[in-house]
Structure 1
């Protein structure tokens, strides 16, 4: 192809489509499966290479992925080119499409440019060297198509670079502004082509972002967190760009061998792969992370697979997992003879600092609403509500409830406290989980407004229900009403 046309295609954002056409990635029966292997630390003369290769083959044979992502620190000793040949041969033997993002150690033995020159000789390599005009090597976008050749999902592969010389900024480099601008431009072009709707996307690179520190210990984080986040000390703005572009659902990295956790930060999943290489440090059983995308849905399931089998499945966007489904005690549904729609409420006036104080307030009126709401409160400060209703749960499962309130709120289901958002405070979101059988369940909500602002929203999600404020049709009156 003429160079001037290649330049034109790049400026128009079409280059990723052109370059991936010969190895097009496609959804199959509505699913697309990715295997992420990270930190192979392949040392060509090591006897442990056989163990690493066996791990790779075991996971490939068990999962049959549509794509493999090697997320850095792949070959980390000489003779390095021999190591790369052996790894590439494995994917050619298994006829598995693959892509590589660079780690901080890969270029210590062969220049990145030469690594990608070699990778591109393989008929199963689906990535590119990336634009020469931006930092790093291997920056590329892999579109995933449906059966009608329409792009349905995007995979961003980004070079997180390696080291930088100024120790004031920490040891590790970061994703640079020109890379971020490239991502933002490409994302905007794909969104525009999709009628203004961002395509569900994932991002893969090696070194974790600073934002990984924010999910440890969160109620929706699952997995092993045995070492501190060894990333750059500089916030590059990559995460903020993901939020603004609204396409990336999840980011998957490596680098920290004793971490394999995944959590959700501001609606973006931040996950580690499972260390794969037998010569790499770390105590975790070697394996790979599997990610299953769903066509036309902003969701994915992910789990770790080792030669011993699959581990716990994590569900995005709910942040729930299969271990909870199997171990939590499920609350039985209550029998309702003649259900009628609505929410029973009692309205109070008086000063409160905790929901326990509501009972000492003046009861002003009672009634029935279509939904839980404080919009009809005649006062702007110093009032409270008690809501009682039945919620009709559509299927057995673990449910994540939240309240966003100013001031305090406490949510009970079947008499159990599920969300404790109590106390005087400005608008704040708190979540809680409960396992429920299909059918009707008692919901009891206490809320008070002290002063300066009033707000209340209650919502839920499950493995198969995207998060939403509770709709009118879910509410039914208690039997005595």
Structure 2
């Protein structure tokens, strides 16, 4: 696959480094409620000669009718069998008839050898559609690397960016693995464009999403995490090469979520390094896989690093998921809610007890006599008079603003545990270097007992205790949420 690095850099200089949405007469904007809705369709695998086309059309139209998205994004493997041109025009007709603007990133099957069309020639076909709003993008690896800005509900500020990136198909050298990857010139383009949007936003990162077809190798990291929900019924068919795309997303700090297809029996979503990694729901009746055909819906919120997402099929809605909390409808429906305590705290603060000695577990401090006790404003170990071999016990009441599922975390060196109403929510115990552990608990609105135990052994000491929920962006628990019953 040829790279166009020199031409790419010249185009950066010539055209102000921006390759973004420019379709005439269509300008995407957050609505008056500050929301923007996207429907992701993936792996349609359209075969213009198949009788299953009617079923695929029915699925897509049912989703569009129920959700009425502002934009539909097709994440690859759209037309998998000849006749290619007629297939793409048939898919485009679905969105023309529903008057739905749509974009696409290509998959590995869209331009396989013998199909007669290159990736850029496919874009020549779909650009004929009046509701297609993407573009080929600058000449670089792949075709269809472009960004679509979403404008604020008022004014002309760019309030969000939707990156479309070609994850390509197969490497020229099959010894490098079965699937290709996102290449360095594409990553450079994304980083430069991200920085450009940031500089035009008073040096504040613009909340963004990224769409491509083949999952990143980091999708393996979210399997089994507490913040991961959905179906995983097959392996993750990522490239063998780690391109560094995910590292750039982490460094740029603007992309909240990555949405891919490719693996038809996966539709799960989880969080890795504060970035949601999600599969869409397979949409095409001719694609392999057992999942009910449908779409992933994403709702972005203006000026917030926050989105909600769920699966929509003709039968209904599945798997609500709230970013950045990682809380889902699965949690809300399956967890038992702890009732609030009948207490009336009189002041803000955290009671603490302080110990010294070597502890293997934070549970070992319970039977010890404290050397000191008192009141602090929060969970902090800054007052410890020694650097090693000490422990703290903290107790307070946390004021929960509304009924819901809450995610707590401790990030500690060494061990820590967090209890709510006597129930272990976070178990980060033992002697270890800095490590974060999360846990979820369902709470009624009101006051709940919160206890944190901490131990420090040799070298390094740190403790941070945080919270998030559907409506609380992740942060250390603020002083204003912590209360004591008395001055003692």
Calculate the TM-score normalised by the size of structure 1.
0.96
Match of 2:104 in 1: 100
The alpha carbon displacement at 1:157 in A equals 0.5
Calculate the TM-score normalised by the size of structure 2.
0.95
Q: Check whether the contact 1:399–1:434 (CA below 8 A) recurs between aligned residues.
A: yes
Q: Check whether the contact 1:9–1:15 (CA below 8 A) recurs between aligned residues.
A: no
Structure 1 residues 8 and 131: CA distance shift in structure 2, 3 A: closer
Match of 1:214 in 2: 221
The alpha carbon displacement at 1:386 in A equals 1.0
The alpha carbon displacement at 1:27 in A equals 1.0
Match of 2:83 in 1: 79
- Aligned with 1:327 (options 334, 346, 357): 334
Q: Distance in 1 between matches of 2:319 and 2:265?
A: 17
Match of 1:474 in 2: 481
Q: Distance in 1 between matches of 2:169 and 2:35?
A: 34
Q: Which consecutive residues of structure 1, in runs of 5 or more, have no partner in the other structure? A: 1-5
Structure 1 residues 7 and 373: CA distance shift in structure 2, 3 A: closer
Q: Which consecutive residues of structure 2, in runs of 5 or more, have no partner in the other structure? A: 1-9
The alpha carbon displacement at 1:359 in A equals 3.3
Match of 1:203 in 2: 210
Match of 2:151 in 1: 145
Match of 1:25 in 2: 28
Q: Check whether the contact 1:336–1:479 (CA below 8 A) recurs between aligned residues.
A: no
Alignment of 1:48-447 (within 5 A): 48-108=52-112, 109=115, 110-132=117-139, 134-146=140-152, 147-447=154-454
Q: Deviations over 1:247-283 (max 9, x none)?
A: 1100000000010011101001000000011111000
Partner secondary structure for residue 111 of structure 2: helix
The alpha carbon displacement at 1:102 in A equals 0.6
More divergent stretch after superposition (109-118 vs 285-294): 109-118
Partner secondary structure for residue 366 of structure 2: helix
Partner secondary structure for residue 25 of structure 1: coil
The alpha carbon displacement at 1:363 in A equals 1.9
Q: Distance in 1 between matches of 2:130 and 2:40?
A: 19
The alpha carbon displacement at 1:166 in A equals 2.1
Match of 1:41 in 2: 45
Q: Check whether the contact 2:347–2:487 (CA below 8 A) recurs between aligned residues.
A: no
Q: Distance in 2 between matches of 1:75 and 1:462?
A: 40
The alpha carbon displacement at 1:361 in A equals 3.8
The alpha carbon displacement at 1:409 in A equals 1.0
Q: Distance in 1 between matches of 2:121 and 2:383?
A: 68
Q: Distance in 1 between matches of 2:447 and 2:425?
A: 16
Q: Deviations over 1:153-192 (max 9, x none)?
A: 0000011100113232111111111111111111111110
Q: Distance in 1 between matches of 2:174 and 2:406?
A: 46
Q: Deviations over 1:99-153 (max 9, x none)?
A: 0111101112222222111211122111111112x11111110000123122100
The alpha carbon displacement at 1:479 in A equals 5.1
Runs of 4+ in 1 over 3 A off after TM superposition: 6-11, 359-362, 478-481
The alpha carbon displacement at 1:480 in A equals 8.2
Q: Check whether the contact 1:23–1:124 (CA below 8 A) recurs between aligned residues.
A: no
Q: C-alpha root-mean-square deviation of aligned residues, in Å?
A: 1.5
- Aligned with 2:456 (options 449, 453, 473): 449
- Aligned with 1:461 (options 456, 468, 484): 468
The alpha carbon displacement at 1:336 in A equals 2.1
Q: Distance in 2 between matches of 1:95 and 1:291?
A: 19
Q: Distance in 2 between matches of 1:8 and 1:284?
A: 43
Q: Distance in 1 between matches of 2:248 and 2:381?
A: 36
The alpha carbon displacement at 1:310 in A equals 0.9
